[in-house]
Amino acid sequence: MMEQWKFLRYRAAGLFARRRKGMEMVQVAILVAIAIVIGLIFRTQIQEFVDGIFADLQSSKFK
């Protein structure tokens, strides 16, 4: 009886660990999707900001 309990507990822990890894992958995918959407929404502002930074660097004597 004790052997069966240990086996079931070990099996349940393995299933939980796999399910947890799957949830971590889903969370990463959601965060990447949110970053892409934010990038698309603010694309022009981001581009203007980066262009301004590079223009300032080129106009200065930074070499």
CB contact set of 39 (below 8 Å; sequence gap of 6+):
46
Residue 63 is predicted with a pLDDT of 58
Cα→Cα distances 61→32, 37, 56, 58, Å: 37, 36, 10, 7
Mutual angle of helices 2-41 and 43-59, in 10-degree steps: 70
Low-confidence ranges of the chain (pLDDT < 70): 1-21, 62-63
Residue 2 is predicted with a pLDDT of 60
Over pLDDT 70: what percentage of the chain?
Answer: 63
Residue 47 is predicted with a pLDDT of 96
Nearest Cα to 38, choosing from 28, 30, 26? 30
Residue 13 is predicted with a pLDDT of 65
CA distance 45 to 53: 12
Residue 30 is predicted with a pLDDT of 95
